[in-house]
């Protein structure tokens, strides 16, 4: 009996392990990535959660002819970041016309984090209400007991209504309150930009809450979670702390790069320093990536040149940032994730995954590679 049990354990362990001699599959950005069903992975604007030995990739399900949410948020799983199993729809759109996430709404940039205290998986995403274009600019939240879901939609709304940013002191607050919107009806003028920097749109949206569009989530070493999003009509980034259960905002937030026109934030931390890569605002068209660093997540943040190097680097290789993925079990191993949008055929949008290198001073570098494998992080040491 003991021999049988030992043999059974050995067989199970063998089935669970990947053959060490098996060649690693290459990651080829810009090509079609097929899941276990032979279909191109449909997880756009997404992020990746690592939980108990498995990576879970969440993203927007896009149809062939529209970017509106007709299905919901997809989930894929993988042990090695190259073989992806379709886990199905993690969050389904609803048929109730009164629902915020009714079929035909806009669901973008879904990210999932795990709360160790509540043992719940929490999803946040940018939500636009059906038929209202991009006017709603809401943050939406859902929760599940398992990483792959199903997720229960809890609600949506603007962020931190009635709360002034922490990095506005009494003088800055008074200056903001003195702004008169009637004096700035002409947009994009130097005078208008200056007013935006001082908080013209913060004041405009104060009572109803701040806008939230392109977004990401970040859980720090101490377990505190942050919602980072493009606000103020995509002119200013906000970094907002979530509640202990990650299901709401606790009122602590700052403005970041006011009037800088940044979106698509992606963040990671190395050697105690925070790095953020984002993009400019040019719709579906690519532009040059921007990069910032800070010693404290609330700032101050310092701007750096684009980290991208190689062919088409000035246009972020034709893509737009969405997430920075830490590779488990490897020191200083991070993958820059981006989307190559195809608005005329949304479901065929492609993915860019590239390893992040570091200069001698610690500055990140993202170099284009036609093909690479995960052992790159081992070889470069």
- Cβ atoms < 10 Å from Cβ of 26: 13
- Cα 135 to Cα 127, 131, 211, 237: the distances in Å are 10, 10, 9, 17
CA distance 192 to 177: 15
Regions of the chain with pLDDT less than 50: 1-20
Residue 61: what are its φ and ψ, rounded to 5°?
-85, 120
Contact call for residues 324 and 111 (beta carbons, < 8 A)? no
Tens-digit pLDDT profile for residues 113-135: 999 999 999 999 999 999 999 99
Give the relative orientation of helices 190-198 and 170-177 as an angle to the nearest 10 degrees.
Answer: 130
Check the CA dihedral 133-136-142-147 and report its sign: positive
Residue 379: per-residue pLDDT: 80
Lookup: tokens for 353: 């995954």
CA distance 216 to 264: 8
Domains of the chain are 35-161+201-379 (2.115.10.20)
Per DSSP (E only), the strands in 187-280 are 215-219, 225-231, 236-242, 249-256, 263-270, 273-279
Q: Using the 8-state DSSP alphabet, how is residue 372 labeled? A: B
CA-derived radius of gyration, the chain? 21
pTM for the full predicted model: 0.93
How many CA atoms are closer than 13 Å to the CA of 195, on its beta-carbon side?
A: 20
Residue 284: per-residue pLDDT: 94
Tens-digit pLDDT profile for residues 208-249: 999 999 999 999 999 999 999 999 999 999 999 999 999 999
Residue 12: per-residue pLDDT: 40
Residue 4: per-residue pLDDT: 41
Helices then strands, counting H and E runs in the chain, come out as 5, 21
> 246: closest CA among 265, 223, 230?
223
CA distance 241 to 25: 38
Residue with tokens 């276990």: 36
CA distance 224 to 252: 12
């Amino acid at each position: 009996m003991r021999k049988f049990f030992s043999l059974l354990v050995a067989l199970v362990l063998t089935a669970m392990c990947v053959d060490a001699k098996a060649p690693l599959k290459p990651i080829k950005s810009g090509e079609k990535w097929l899941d276990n069903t032979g279909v191109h992975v449909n997880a756009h604007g997404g992020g990746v959660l690592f939980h108990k030995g498995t990576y879970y990739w969440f993203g927007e399900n896009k149809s062939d002819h529209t970017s509106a949410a007709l299905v919901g948020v997809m989930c894929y799983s993988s042990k090695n970041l190259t073989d992806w199993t379709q886990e199905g729809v993690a969050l389904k759109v609803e048929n109730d016309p009164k629902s915020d996430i009714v079929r035909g709404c806009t669901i973008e940039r879904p990210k999932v984090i795990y709360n160790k205290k509540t043992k719940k998986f929490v999803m946040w995403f940018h939500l636009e209400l059906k038929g209202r274009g991009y006017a709603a600019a809401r943050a939406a939240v859902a929760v599940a007991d398992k990483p792959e879901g199903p997720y229960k939609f809890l609600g949506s709304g603007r962020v931190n209504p009635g709360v002034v940013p922490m990095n506005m002191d009494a003088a800055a607050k008074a200056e903001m309150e003195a702004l008169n919107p009637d004096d700035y009806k002409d947009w994009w003028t130097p005078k208008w930009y200056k007013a935006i920097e001082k908080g013209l749109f913060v004041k405009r949206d104060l009572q109803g809450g701040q806008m939230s569009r392109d977004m990401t989530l970040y859980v720090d070493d101490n377990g505190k979670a942050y919602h980072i999003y493009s606000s103020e009509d995509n002119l200013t980034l906000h970094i907002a702390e979530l509640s202990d259960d990650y299901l709401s905002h606790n009122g602590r937030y700052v403005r970041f790069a006011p009037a800088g026109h940044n979106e698509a934030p992606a963040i990671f931390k190395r050697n105690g320093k925070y790095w953020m890569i984002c993009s400019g605002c040019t719709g579906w068209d690519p532009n040059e990536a921007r990069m910032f660093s800070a010693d404290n997540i609330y700032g101050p943040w310092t701007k750096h040149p684009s980290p991208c190097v190689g062919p088409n680097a000035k246009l972020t290789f034709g893509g737009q940032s969405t997430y920075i993925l830490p590779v488990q079990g490897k020191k200083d191993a991070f993958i820059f994730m981006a989307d190559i949008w195809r608005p005329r055929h949304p479901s065929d949008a492609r993915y860019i995954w590239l390893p992040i290198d570091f200069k001698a001073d610690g500055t990140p570098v993202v170099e284009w590679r036609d093909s690479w494998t995960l052992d790159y992080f081992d070889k470069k040491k």
